[in-house]
Each structure stands twice: as structure tokens, then as C-alpha cells.
Amino acid sequence: MRHLIDIMDLNVEEIQELIDVANDIIANPDDYAEKCRRKKLATLFFEPSTRTRLSFEAAMYELGGNVLGFSEAQSSSAAKGESVADTIKTVGAYADIIAMRHPKEGAPMVASMRSDVPVINAGDGGHNHPTQTLTDLLTINRVLGHFDNITIGFCGDLKFGRTVHSLMNAMSRYENVKYVLISPDELKIPEYLRYNLLEGHNIEYVETQDLESVMPELDILYMTRVQRERFFNEQDYIRLKDSYILTPEKLENAKKDMAVLHPLPRVNEISTAVDSDPRARYFEQVKNGKFIRMALILKLLEVE
Ligand code: NCD
């Protein structure tokens, strides 16, 4: 039985297979409409979500399956003090596969160790978010057609942004990928990633606080929200939240075929005036999220 806890649980060939299946689903949706008949997905969300939970649910419905679950910890027995391990054992009695989001780093991994069915990490605290990364990779693949030889800028909250951490890990396995890390000092990537990933794998990277000066180099600009819920102190959040606001003027120096991605939700970091720019790909990214999750559910349920 396979789980998806960390994006590195999948090798690059498996990622390519998922992308190929997702592209086939986009082209031939009817072929997949009955693939998960009578199967059930449980979505256990101990933290807020719009896209991740609804795209998982939509994915399972489009495969002909059914969905159960909860969207806040308060409405589950976690509120009575039940452990994650006991919750997962229980849900495994009713569902064939589980997508779980939790504020504690590592909770989905602990759950997977006790689970009788595949567990998917749908975001664990400020740590990882592998299915957002699959969404990002499908989008990059559809926009650029390749992963090698690109310069990718990560902008905003690189400290707490779990989507950034997972995407950085995933991109480290392709050839000649250069990282440009754009953030205020306080929101730089965690030290464990700097040492294990960037320096451990000799990745070419630069760090800067200035988005505009690096804009012309970027093939992908990955914008992120400052993760308010991970701050210890509201004053720090208020001081840092508007560090970067992408506007049409700031895009003037960007490559004509650059892609702006964002896992969403956005707060202020991309002006809505950017939405009509052909380089804005974040709503396309939202759509891709459902298709790649369909491919992932098929893989983990071992459906042909
Ligand atoms: C992200 C998340 O939950 O980490 N959202 C998502 O799943 N698309 C990003 C965020 O909340 O900022």
C-alpha cells in the first residue's frame, strides 16, 4: 500500500506518469467517469481549505466515487481529545482512501503509519503540501512543456509556506534548475531546507529582498501569501504581510512567456489587475488541481 506524505515519495518517472494521466483525463474525461465506482474518499480537514478539499472531492466524484469527511476539527471527535491514530483507524473502516490536512507537522505521516488505507497529506502545518506540488508541476508542464533549464522565483513567505517547501524539493531533481528566493529576512527558507536541499544537492540559488531586480531572469514566478496562522505575534504579521505586491507595472520587465503561479488563496500579494495578463496562470492552476488529484487517486487505489 502506498501513501503520499512527501512529494519525494514519488520518483520523477511516477510524477511524469501522473502528469500523463492527468493530461489524458483532460482530453478524455468520459473514459474515467466510472473508474472509482463504489469507492469512497474521506477528506479529514483539521485546518481551513477551499481548493484542496473541494478539488479532492470533485476529483472523486468525477471518477464515479463518493466522498465523506469533515472540514473542521471542531466537528470531529478530535474536539473530544481523540488521537489522530484512532481517528484514522476509524475512518479506514468506512473509506478506501484518505486525504488529511492538519496544523501539526508530521500528523499525516503518523496517520499513515496506523492506517489500513492510503493516506494523502493535504498539507501539514508549515511543512509540506505534496498535492499542491503535483498541481504546480502539471501547470508548469502544460505551460512550458519541460522542467529542465528553468529559473524559478519563489516570492513571499518562504519560511512557513509549505507549498514552497514541497515544490523546491520536487524541482531539485531536474537538470539545471536555478532558484531565486525572494523574501524579507524574517521569512527566508528554513535552515533545514537550506542545508539538506539547497546546499546538500548543490543547487544554484540566490536570495534577495528585491523582486523587481530579478524579474527579467524568471521563467516561473511562484507568489505566496504570508502565512498569518503560523505567526506567534500579530504585529510581525502586520509588518510583513504586504512585503510584495505584484502589479502590472512590476511585470513590465518580465519575460513575455513567464508564468505567474500562486497556490492561492491570495490576500494582497497579486493585484487583481494582473489577472487579465496572459502570464497569470493561477486560475488555470486551480483547474489542474482536480485533474492531477484524479490521477493520484487512481494510482494509490491501483485502478487500471
Ligand atoms: C496553500 C496551503 O494551504 O498551504 N493553499 C492551497 O492548498 N492551495 C497555500 C496557502 O494557504 O497560502
Per-residue model confidence as pLDDT tens digits over 11-51:
999 999 999 999 999 999 999 999 999 999 999 999 999 99
Q: Whose CA is nearest to atom 12 of ligand 1?
A: 225
Residues with CB under 6 A from ligand 1: 51-52, 123, 129, 132, 162-163, 225, 263-265
More confident residue, 259 or 74: 259
Residue 217's pLDDT is: 98
- Distances in Å between the Cα of 30 and the Cα atoms of 22, 44, 64, 94, 196 are 13, 28, 10, 27, 43
The closest-lying atom of ligand 1 relative to the alpha carbon of residue 101 is: 3
Would you name the residues annotated as active-site residues?
51-52, 80, 101, 129
Residue 61's pLDDT is: 98
The closest-lying atom of ligand 1 relative to the alpha carbon of residue 122 is: 7
Residue 75's pLDDT is: 87
Mean pLDDT, the chain, whole residue set: 97
pLDDT digits (tens, 9 = 90+) for 131-176: 999 999 999 999 999 999 999 999 999 999 999 999 999 999 999 9
CA distance 296 to 21: 9
Residue 69's pLDDT is: 96
**Position 102 confidence tier, pLDDT thresholds 50, 70, 90:** very high
Q: Whose CA is nearest to atom 7 of ligand 1?
A: 52
Q: Whose CA is nearest to atom 11 of ligand 1?
A: 265
- Cα 56 to middle of ligand 1, angstroms: 14
Written in H, E and C, the secondary structure of 221-232 is EEECCCCHHHCC
Percent of the chain residues past pLDDT 90, beyond the cut = 97
Residue 304's pLDDT is: 87
- Cα 31 to middle of ligand 1, angstroms: 30
pLDDT digits (tens, 9 = 90+) for 52-95: 999 999 999 999 999 999 999 988 988 899 999 999 999 999 99
The closest-lying atom of ligand 1 relative to the alpha carbon of residue 52 is: 7
pLDDT digits (tens, 9 = 90+) for 162-220: 999 999 999 999 999 999 999 999 999 999 999 999 999 999 999 999 999 999 999 99
- Cα 279 to middle of ligand 1, angstroms: 21
The closest-lying atom of ligand 1 relative to the alpha carbon of residue 129 is: 4
Residue 39's pLDDT is: 98
Residue 271's pLDDT is: 98
Say whether pTM exceeds 0.85. Answer: yes
- Cα 75 to middle of ligand 1, angstroms: 21
Q: Whose CA is nearest to atom 8 of ligand 1?
A: 263
- Cα 265 to middle of ligand 1, angstroms: 6
Residue 79's pLDDT is: 87
**Residue 227 pLDDT exceeds 90:** yes
Q: Whose CA is nearest to atom 6 of ligand 1?
A: 263
